[in-house]
Amino acid sequence: MSFISLLWVLLLGSLLGLELIGKVPPTLHTPLMSGANAISGITMLAALTLIVKAEGNLPLLIIGSISLGFALFNVVGGFFVTDRMLAMFSRKPSNKK
């Protein structure tokens, strides 16, 4: 990939992000933040690449592995916690007048 096309990717990605959430009910601010936060753990892909490319370089393998751990902590924890919050909204209101 040339640098220029990566810049295009960056630009378009940013524009997409700006457009995606226009109106958010305040109710969803916290879950949305938490969900977006989980997605930012996508750096796990970078960590994976690092490990695969390490070619037996032990310090690099260890750094990659720690990095992967941090990223997955973010991703798995983030999605779980978001789901926990959202589960409360979707529960059927039990007692309507």
Positions 26 through 65 that interact with another protein (CB under 8 A): 26-57, 59-65
43 within 8 A of 71, measured Cβ to Cβ: yes
Give me the least distance between CB of 59 and another protein, in Å please: 7
Give me the least distance between CB of 8 and another protein, in Å please: 10
Give me the least distance between CB of 23 and another protein, in Å please: 7
Q: How many residues bind another protein (CB under 8 A)?
A: 90
* CA atoms in the 13 A half-sphere facing the CB of 60: 11
d(C-alpha 31, C-alpha 85), whole Å: 7
Round the CA-based radius of gyration of the chain to a whole number and report it: 19
d(C-alpha 45, C-alpha 72), whole Å: 10
Residues 64-93 that bind another protein (CB under 8 A): 64-91, 93
